[in-house]
Structure 1
Amino acid sequence: MTDYTIRRARRHDIGAIVHMLADDQLGATRDDPGNLDPYLRAFDDIDADPNQLLVVAVAEGEPVGTLQLTIIPGLARRGSLRGQIEAVRIRADHRGSGLGTGIMEWAIDESRRRGCSLVQLTSDISRTEAHRFYERLGFTPSHTGFKFKL
């Protein structure tokens, strides 16, 4: 098994992150590694917000996994914090290595460390393999999600 380090993403990681986002059945239709400008603007906003953590898993000096963790304060559940996990991606040549489990466990531990009472995520209904992965980690399919495209 390869050794991985999980750290906050840096601006120079954005190209590798966008390639991972685009190397996906849905990302291929909505992400464009050929134009990093909108991603760099988004990175600046994410990086400036203390409730946002965009992280990369690094192996041999290269980002090979990523996710975004958002800490959401709320009134529900007695005013508890929630950890929202999004954009989980593992580079194709590192899938099946245990990295997905490792980066998800990192996000759960970080949510716990920050005082969250719940960790949640959404996943497109077509991602049945990802759903099995999340269920193996202990996530429960408990809600139906809706989106309104603008």
Structure 2
Amino acid sequence: MGDLEIRHATADDLPAIVAMLADDPLGAQRESPDDLTPYLAALERLTADPNQHLVVAVREDRVIGTLQLTVVPGLSHKGATRALVEAVRIHADERGSGLGTVLIQWAIDTSRQLGCAMVQLTSDKSRTDAHRFYARLGFNASHEGFKLKL
């Protein structure tokens, strides 16, 4: 991946991050790239929480990927700490380049370094390409996920 840098996101990165979040049929329905106000507030909360790692992949000063890694302490699995991967997005120009693999490997490596016993993620049922991608990386579709919007 050459000159790729993976680093914590800053407020300057938000326009690119939100644009990637909105750049698919699901994201287009739920994201608002024209109003960054709620995203700035969210970034402040994430930055203040040491268990949150919102990162960007940057090449030549251009944000080309992002993900959020959350460290979750728990009691189950003998008190295991787990990592939760969310909001994985790759810029349209970079899809198929291997960047997604690099970002997920970063998440796995970071999770190990932070003492996590497992990495878990969810993916919308309609994202069948993503499901095949995660399976290739060794993730097992072991659970059925549920959400309740509040």
TM-score, length basis structure 2: 0.98
Aligned counterpart, 1:18: 18
CA RMSD of aligned residues (A): 0.8
1:33 Cα offset (Å) = 0.4
Aligned counterpart, 2:30: 30
Aligned counterpart, 1:97: 97
1:2 Cα offset (Å) = 5.1
Going from structure 1 to structure 2, the CA distance change for 1:130 and 1:78 (only over 3 Å counts) comes to same
1:7 paired to 2:7: yes
1:3 Cα offset (Å) = 3.1
* Structure 1 stretches of 4+ moved >3 Å: none
Q: Could you list the runs of 5+ residues in structure 1 that have no partner in the other structure? A: none
The answer on whether the counterparts of 1:73 and 1:80 sit within 8 Å (CA) in structure 2 is yes
Residue identity over aligned pairs, in percent, reads 62
| Distance (whole Å) between structure 1 residues aligned to residue 88 and residue 23 of structure 2 | 12
Give the aligned length.
150
Question: What are the residue-to-residue correspondences of 1:1-150 with 2, within 5 Å?
Answer: 3-150=3-150
| Distance (whole Å) between structure 2 residues aligned to residue 35 and residue 2 of structure 1 | 34
TM-score, length basis structure 1: 0.98
